Amino acid sequence: EPEVTQTPSHQVTQMGQEVILRCVPISNHLYFYWYRQILGQKVEFLVSFYNNEISEKSEIFDDQFSVERPDGSNFTLKIRSTKLEDSAMYFCASSEALLGLAGGDEQFFGPGTRLTVL
Amino acid sequence: GENVEQHPSTLSVQEGDSAVIKCTYSDSASNYFPWYKQELGKGPQLIIDIRSNVGEKKDQRIAVTLNKTAKHFSLHITETQPEDSAVYFCAASRRGSTLGRLYFGRGTQLTVWP
């Protein structure tokens, strides 16, 4: 069964460093998302991406964050200058469609990347 | 924005018993409600979802009910098995205007004792 994959599974970085989290969405999917979960808190939406541009972003997704689809398979989240409060589990998700009335818009999640900022 | 509340935060049941997890939402425009199961070390897996044009949906031992008037929806697992032990998340979304964004509840840690 096709699945979303993410690398690395765990990333440790120093405050102020740049990190890139990588995702490979399901191959025929067109819509891509990043969410994060700070320990003990809700899973929070960061950004959605379609047709090589951001569709929607949350208030969390400020100028230090960026997303890119550098090729036909990868989808990346870059954090330019990490802060302690960026420590979280980051999930990538993808869906085939967006407005499916009878399905096709379900979001499938990857296993996550645990980011630890020291 | 949407706010989803989920209860209980932990739930322990004996194998074979039923488990019920409840969620409420605040935005009456939300019309899509998925449930995810997260096992240790894995990402959330979609197990069932319901859209606002139906009140109930069932898939084998799992069922979800939706009450649009009261703005709440519930997950029912019957004949629980130890492998049902996981964290369950409810979510809500407004298909048609916001572009797929999911709002999650805090999660319920379900433990099924053999």
Residue among A83, A78, A2, A87 at smallest CA distance from A34: A78
Is A42 in contact with B106 (Cβ distance < 8 A)?
A: yes
pLDDT of amino acid A35: 97
- Dist. CA A10–CA A7, nearest whole Å: 8
Q: What gap in Å lies between CA B23 and CA B39, rounded to an integer?
A: 20
Q: Which residue of A has its CA nearest to B54?
A: A102
**Local confidence band at B52 (pLDDT 50, 70, 90 cut-offs):** confident
Answer yes or no: do B96 and A99 touch at CB < 8 A.
yes
Q: Give every residue of chain A whose pLDDT is below 50, as ranges.
A: none
Closest CA to B6 of B114, B92, B103, B106: B106
In angstroms, the separation between the Cα of residue A7 and the nearest Cα of chain B is 13
Is the pLDDT confidence value at B98 over 60?
no
pLDDT in tens, A34-67: 999 999 899 999 999 988 999 999 999 999 999 9
Helix, strand, coil % over all residues of chain A, rounded to 5 = 5, 50, 50
pLDDT at A96: 85
How far apart CA A30 and CA B95 sit, in angstroms, is 16
Contact assignment for B89 to A108 by CB distance below 8 Å: no
Nearest to B100 among A33, A42, A112 (CB): A33
Q: Please give the Cα distance from B63 to B76 (Å, whole number).
A: 5
Query: Cα A10 vs. chain centroid, distance in angstroms?
Result: 14
pLDDT of residue B94: 84
Amino acid at A95: S
Kindly list the distances between the CA atom of residue B4 and the CA atoms of A25, A108, B29, B41, in Å, as whole numbers in the listed order. Answer: 27, 20, 13, 24
* CA distance from start to end of chain B: 41
b or e along A68-90 (b: 16 or more beta carbons within 10 Å of the residue's beta carbon)?
Answer: ebeeeeebebebeebeeebbbbb
DSSP for B73-99 reads: EEEEE-S--GGG-EEEEEEEB-TTTS-
A85, two tokens: 């409060």
Residue B10: pLDDT band (50, 70, 90) is: very high
Examine the pLDDT at B114 and tell me if it is beyond 70.
yes
Interchain CB distance below 8 Å, A43 and B89:
yes
Least confident of A19-23, A47-51, B70-74, B87-91: A47-51
- What is the spatial distance between Cα B31 and Cα A96, in angstroms, rounded to a whole number? 18
Per-residue pLDDT tens over the stretch B16-39: 999 999 999 999 989 899 999 999
User: Looking at residue A83, what is its pLDDT?
Assistant: 96
Q: Which residues in chain A are closer than 8 Å to B32, comparing Cβ atoms?
A: 105
Please state, in angstroms and as integers, the Cα–Cα distance from residue A64 to each residue in A29, A80, A107, A116, following that order: 26, 5, 25, 16
Higher pLDDT, B41 or A25: A25
Can you give the pLDDT at residue B67? 95
Output the pLDDT for position A21.
98
